[in-house]
Each structure stands twice: as structure tokens, then as C-alpha cells.
Chain A
Amino acid sequence: MSESTEKKMVRLRSSDGEVFEVEESVAKVAKTLQDMLEEDCADAVIPITCVRAPILTKVIDYCKDQVMISSSSSTTNNPNERTEQERKAWGQKFMEGVDSSTLCELLVASNFLNIEGLLNLGVDKMVSMIQGKYPQEIRDMFNVVNDFTPEEEEEIRNQNAWAFERDPYYKKRSSSK
């Protein structure tokens, strides 16, 4: 990366109106933004209407890190600038303490902005979060309305009884309802 060329800045506006100024290289990690910038159809401030400020901050953090990795590898030509293991560890740390609703928003944002790495990271995190959970927890988590009639629900549950038998807390919970 040559320091002489002036770094072009891009401004992004989150859904709640906050404006972020980032280097163009950082914004370009997001394929959606890259396409926009390359086609030169971006206005002075790019509205990212489906992403709230705290989520966008997180996304930008990720993009910055990606830029850092790629730039360091191109300048120093060091083959082990970041091993697979360090990458995984970094990913875990990045996702640490993210709750489910933030994670959903992050997934939506990375899908929308088309950032494959972040999407992958988020999906893995989500998988580890929801496996072993029970239907009602899933409904609460994703705001899903149970649109089965009690009879239908009972039928499916009977079909899959073995999956529920594995859960010692399930009966307790449903009987207390």
C-alpha cells in the first residue's frame, strides 16, 4: 500500500442516522459496497438502511481487520502472517459475547452487504448457540409465532418423540405452562 496516495474516504449512514467515515479499502470488503463504488453510483453518504449503528460498528471492525491482514501479507510477503488457528481464535473472540438478537442483525447485515467471511463466522456462532435448545426457546429467540394447532403440534411431537425424550427439562417446562 503506497502511503503517498491520499486515502479515499467513504461515508456510510446507518438506519438510525449515524454516519461512519471509513477508508474506501475498508468499505470494499463488503461486496455490495464494492460494486456500488466501482460503478460510481454511490452518493456522498451511502445509506445502509437495514443496519443499525452498533451493528455497523461491528461490521466495520471486521472489515478493518480483513484489510489489515491482506495489506500486511502483501507488503511483508510473510507466508504465516496469520495461521488458520489464529484466524479461528480471532473469529471466536470477535463473536464472543454477541447475543442472539445482535447476531441475527449481524447476519442480516453481512448477508445484505455480502461479506462472506463474516456471514460464515456468524452462521457458525448461531449453530453453536441453538443446538441443543428447545422449540420454545427457538421461537423466543427468532420471534417465530407457533402457527401449528395444538393437535398438529402434538402429532409432530409424537412422530419425533425420541428427540424430545432426550430432553429431561422439556416435560417439566410444558407442564408448568
Chain B
Amino acid sequence: MYSYQKHYKLFKTNLEKDRRVSQHYVLGNSWDSRNPRPRFMNCCSLPFPIFVISSSSLPLYFFTHDERYSVLDLQVPSMGVSLPGDILQEILSRLPKKSLRRFEIVSKEWENLIREAGSLPPKPTEVGFVYVKCCLQDSIHKTMFYRLDNRGALAVEDSIVFPPEDSVFIMGCCNGVLFYCKEDQNEGKISYHLYDPVARRHTDVPRLPPFRLSFDPIPCAMGFVPPTSGTKHYRFVVVYVRQSTGMYKTHSMGLKIATFPSETGEWKTKPAKFGEESDGELRRLSSFGFNLGAADLCFERNLYWVRSSCLIVLCSETGTFRVITTPVSPNKCRGLVWESEGRLNYGQISLTHGLRIWVLRGVAGNRGLWDTIFHVSSERLDILLAGTVKSSSLKKSTSIARVSAFHEHLQIFHLQTNDGVCVSYDIPNERMALVLPFALDKDASLMPFAYGKSKLPDLQGPESDTWGRRSRKRGSDSCPTLRRSSRLKQAQT
């Protein structure tokens, strides 16, 4: 029989000989095998024993080998504080991959911990890209989802339940959440919805407030501010343009912003404001029509739209529009904006400079101060492309028109040609692959979005997955969110 008690005594004797220990520690008198953790507490103090004690494999580590009795065998940090291994593990498991790769060279211990953390099963956020293919079939928008796993394989994502027959139009996606609108054939009313393809959850945008007369408002820009770690509240933001004779004649004074904060559960409308430096730029843009569609990104409660010459920023709190210039002068290649490690990143491919990523350091006036943090030359891209793509349409990197998606966790880019052919560029492995051969179908438009970073609030309850059933139950006029909030109010009073 293995005796903990006996070994504990041996251990204690050894520890007490060590002055470093006896100065600081009072060792408990007995070892209780029923409850190893607290029993040990009296003998543990600063760094080293805690490291062992807090680990789940603790007792045997100490007791089975004679040489482990001695404190000298244990690595005692010279000074300051160190963290127990399993706390460190917990911290590492919550860090993004990029930080982890960088931290591998901190020390050998960190390297091991990180390698171990890497072998854990991927989190839901790492499932990869979800692609949606919309095409017009018999004047109905047909929507299909494709999923890309970590290895780059493509499969029809049939687990996603999406309205198959209704006339649904996908407006865009923001932070991995899909924005779409749906027209009720009978009443001609349009409703707006959000869909998170990774969490497979639908949410309705509350029925928009009437905007002049009795017309249903048609928004020119929409955004969704997801709940952040600090708060559970979310908000919808909709921008309207003053209508005139059937066409959108837009000038900045005619813009109105309606916000729906979940705290109040009611729409609030006010005129849009413009940052002073950005006014001219915005006027220029709005002369081309202010049809922004769904926001490309929501970051720190600001909504971002990427345009060829600039980023349009709308502060969801104040309703102020601003413009930030992009790092490259306007060209025909469209960029992509995303958030990484708490900073705003911008990626773009250009004919002469290849693929680049910038990070926003600050803003001066309406000028964005961008630092280049990643660069692959177009020559290098050409070489990689030659090894990947056999088809004639994509021999040179110059045929790549846009950066269509970026997966922050996996660090994989998706690059797309005007024909819709899509290749992936894997930064860590410096590898290219053809990912979307079906995109050659000219009628299809592709909307890629990486993993669902933002969480849709649970407005619908457990039924949210069964789309058809739910929509039949409800009239087009109903608004579950408002109903729910009014019910809540009643309950409170």
C-alpha cells in the first residue's frame, strides 16, 4: 500500500531542512488523502510548491520519486511572481493564435504549454469560413451555404436552415453575421433579419419606425452592434435618406439615423451628424448615392463601411459620420477591414505591391495613420499561384481583384478575381489553394464571411432554428422584440 502519510512526513523533513522553505512556511502536520488540496496549504507559499500543488496531478509528482523531495530540484523563480502552470494554460487557451505563435519564443516552458494548447480541439470560432452563394433562379434569389473546414475542404452546409422559397435578398455581412431582407409577397412589406450561420441563429430586426408619410422606410445603410464583453445590450442602426421623386437624391442634410438600443426596446430617430473634417468627403460620396448597405464591420461600437477611397465610420452612440482615408490611393481593388487584437486592420491587394495588411495607429483629421505589418510581393504571389491554379483565368496575381475574407484565428486570406474564382492564402504555412471552383458560375454572387465573432442575442428562443414554421405562425406585422419588451415592461410594473 502506498502511504501518503509516510511520504508526506519524509517530504516535510526534507523541506524543513531547506532554509528557503523554513523561513517562510509552516508545514502542516498531516497529509489527508481524502482532500489533498487544502491539506497542503500550510506548506505552500510563494512560487514553487503552488506550481505543483495547484496542478491536478499533484500528489504523485511529489511523492513517488525521492529526488523530488528536495526543493533544490524544483525550479524556483529567482524573484517576482510567476503563475502556476494551469492558470497559465487557462490564459493561453483564451488568447488568439497570433499572440500564441509569438509567445512560443518566450521560453521552453511556454513553448511546451502553447504546443499543448494547440493540440486541443478547435473552438467554435475556428470552424473556418462559411460562404453563401446567391443566384437568381426563376426570379427568386436562391441561397446556398458552403462551409470550409480547417483543411480547406469545401462542402455544402446543409445544416443551415435558411428560407428556401421566400424572396430573400442578402444585403451583406458584418462581423460574421449575415444581414438579409425578405419581402412578404402578399402585403409587399419588407422585413429585415440577421443570421449567424455558425451559431445557426436567426434574429429579426424590429419593425422599422415610420419615416415620413406611411411608406415603409427603405434604409440605405444598416448595422448591428453586438453585445460586447462589458454589456449584454446590442443595438440596431439604420440610416435613411430623404426620398424625392422616386430616386434617392442624397445630400448629407437628408440623412436620418434610427437606432434601436435593446435597453429601451424602441426606435429612436435623429438627423445624422458629420464630423467636421469629413463633411466634404462625405458630400462627395453622397453625390454618388449614399447606398452603403450592411456595415462591413462593427468594432468598438463603431460601424465601418469600406469604400475604394476611404472607410466610412458611424459612431453608433452619437450618430456621427466620419471618414478615414485608406492607406493606399484609390484603385480598383477593394480592401477588407477587420479587427485583430483590439486594433483595426486593413488588407488590400494591389497590382504593383501584392498583398498587404495595415494596422491603424491613429487618425489625424480624416487621415488614417496606417502601419504596414504584413507584405507579400506580387512576384511571390505569382509563383504561388502558378503552383496552385491550373486554369487559365488566374495565372497572375494581377487578376486578383479583392481580398474577400480573412480568418483571424487561422490567419488565412481569401482572394477573389472578378470572375469569382477564389484562392486562399495561408500565412503561417505560406500556402495557396483553390477554394471555390463553383464560383465560375457567373450568376452567383459570393459573400464570404469568416467565423461568427459576434454573438446574436437570443430574441427568438429555442424556435429560432425552424425558420418555416416560425414565419407561418407570425403575421408580417408582428415584431417579437417589441412585443417581448412591452411584455417585460408590463411584468415590471
In the A-B complex, list the 4 residue pairs whose CB atoms are closest, starting with the nearest.
A104-B81, A163-B101, A143-B80, A132-B341
B106 A144 Cβ-Cβ under 8 A: yes
List which B13-40 residues lie within 8 A (CB) of chain A.
24-26, 35, 37-38
Say whether, besides A35-B35, A36-B38, A144-B110, A132 and B342 are in contact (CB < 8 Å).
yes
B54 A111 Cβ-Cβ under 8 A: yes
Interface bits A134-148 vs B (CB < 8 Å: 1, else 0): 110011001111111
A53 contacts across to B, CB distance below 8 A: none
A163 B81 Cβ-Cβ under 8 A: no
Q: Name 12 A/B residue pairs within 8 A (Cβ), A-sorted.
A: A47-B26, A111-B50, A112-B54, A127-B94, A130-B91, A131-B341, A139-B106, A142-B81, A146-B105, A148-B107, A160-B101, A166-B98
A138 B106 Cβ-Cβ under 8 A: yes
B372 A112 Cβ-Cβ under 8 A: no
B107 A107 Cβ-Cβ under 8 A: no
A156 B104 Cβ-Cβ under 8 A: yes
A166 B374 Cβ-Cβ under 8 A: yes
B41 contacts across to A, CB distance below 8 A: 32, 36, 49, 112
B357 contacts across to A, CB distance below 8 A: 166
Interface assignment of B96: CB less than 8 Å from any CB of chain A = yes
Say whether, besides A107-B83, A143-B80, A147-B108, A112 and B233 are in contact (CB < 8 Å).
no
| Complex: chain B residue closest to A167, CB-CB | B373
Number of B residues contacting the other chain (C-beta, 8 Å)?
A: 60
Say whether, besides A162-B428, A163-B102, A131 and B50 are in contact (CB < 8 Å).
no
**Distance in angstroms between the alpha carbons of A143 and B106 in the assembled complex:** 10
Interface bits A110-139 vs B (CB < 8 Å: 1, else 0): 011010000100011011101111110011
Interface assignment of B95: CB less than 8 Å from any CB of chain A = yes
List which B106-126 residues lie within 8 A (CB) of chain A.
106-111
A50 contacts across to B, CB distance below 8 A: 44-46, 50
Interface assignment of A65: CB less than 8 Å from any CB of chain B = no
**Distance in angstroms between the alpha carbons of A94 and B450 in the assembled complex:** 34
Interface bits A1-18 vs B (CB < 8 Å: 1, else 0): 000000000000001000
**Which residue in B80, B106, B375 is a CB contact (below 8 Å) of A101?**
B80
Interface bits B162-186 vs A (CB < 8 Å: 1, else 0): 0000000000000000000000000
B81 A101 Cβ-Cβ under 8 A: yes
B50 A127 Cβ-Cβ under 8 A: no
B371 to chain A, nearest CB (A): 5
**Distance in angstroms between the alpha carbons of A146 and B103 in the assembled complex:** 11
**Distance in angstroms between the alpha carbons of A127 and B106 in the assembled complex:** 16
| Complex: chain A residue closest to B233, CB-CB | A85
A132 B343 Cβ-Cβ under 8 A: yes
Interface bits A24-60 vs B (CB < 8 Å: 1, else 0): 0000000010011000000000010110000000000
A133 contacts across to B, CB distance below 8 A: 99
Q: Is the interface of B mostly helix, strand, loop or mixed?
A: loop
Interface assignment of A82: CB less than 8 Å from any CB of chain B = no
B86 to chain A, nearest CB (A): 8
Interface assignment of A77: CB less than 8 Å from any CB of chain B = no
Interface assignment of B188: CB less than 8 Å from any CB of chain A = no
Residues on A close to B: CB < 8 A? 15, 32, 35-36, 47, 49-50, 83-85, 88-89, 92, 101, 104-105, 107-108, 111-112, 114, 119, 123-124, 126-128, 130-135, 138-139, 142-148, 153, 156-157, 160, 162-168
Interface assignment of B79: CB less than 8 Å from any CB of chain A = yes
Interface bits B442-480 vs A (CB < 8 Å: 1, else 0): 000000000000000000000000000000000000000
Interface assignment of B390: CB less than 8 Å from any CB of chain A = no
A135 B45 Cβ-Cβ under 8 A: no
**Distance in angstroms between the alpha carbons of A163 and B97 in the assembled complex:** 9
Say whether, besides A32-B41, A88-B230, A168-B373, A107 and B87 are in contact (CB < 8 Å).
yes
A143 B87 Cβ-Cβ under 8 A: no
Residues on B close to A: CB < 8 A? 24-26, 35, 37-38, 41-42, 44-46, 50, 54, 77-84, 86-87, 90-91, 94-96, 98-99, 101-111, 229-233, 341-343, 357, 359, 371-375, 411, 427-428, 430
B430 contacts across to A, CB distance below 8 A: 162
A123 B90 Cβ-Cβ under 8 A: yes
A165 B373 Cβ-Cβ under 8 A: yes
A41 to chain B, nearest CB (A): 9
**Which residue in B24, B42, B110, B342 is a CB contact (below 8 Å) of A15?**
B24
| Complex: chain B residue closest to A35, CB-CB | B38
A96 to chain B, nearest CB (A): 12
B87 A111 Cβ-Cβ under 8 A: yes
A153 B105 Cβ-Cβ under 8 A: yes
B116 to chain A, nearest CB (A): 16
| Complex: chain A residue closest to B229, CB-CB | A88
Say whether, besides A131-B95, A131-B342, A166-B373, A144 and B107 are in contact (CB < 8 Å).
yes
B84 A108 Cβ-Cβ under 8 A: yes
Known: A89-B230, A143-B78. 12 other contacts (CB 8 A): A47-B42, A49-B26, A85-B230, A108-B83, A108-B84, A111-B50, A112-B50, A131-B342, A162-B374, A163-B101, A164-B102, A168-B373
A144 contacts across to B, CB distance below 8 A: 82, 106-107, 109-110
**Distance in angstroms between the alpha carbons of A146 and B106 in the assembled complex:** 6
B82 A104 Cβ-Cβ under 8 A: yes
| Complex: chain B residue closest to A34, CB-CB | B38
Say whether, besides A108-B81, A142-B81, A142-B82, A49 and B94 are in contact (CB < 8 Å).
no
**Distance in angstroms between the alpha carbons of A85 and B50 in the assembled complex:** 34
B37 A135 Cβ-Cβ under 8 A: no
| Complex: chain A residue closest to B30, CB-CB | A41
A160 to chain B, nearest CB (A): 4
| Complex: chain A residue closest to B263, CB-CB | A85
B110 contacts across to A, CB distance below 8 A: 138, 144
**Which residue in A49, A119, A126, A147 is a CB contact (below 8 Å) of B24?**
A49
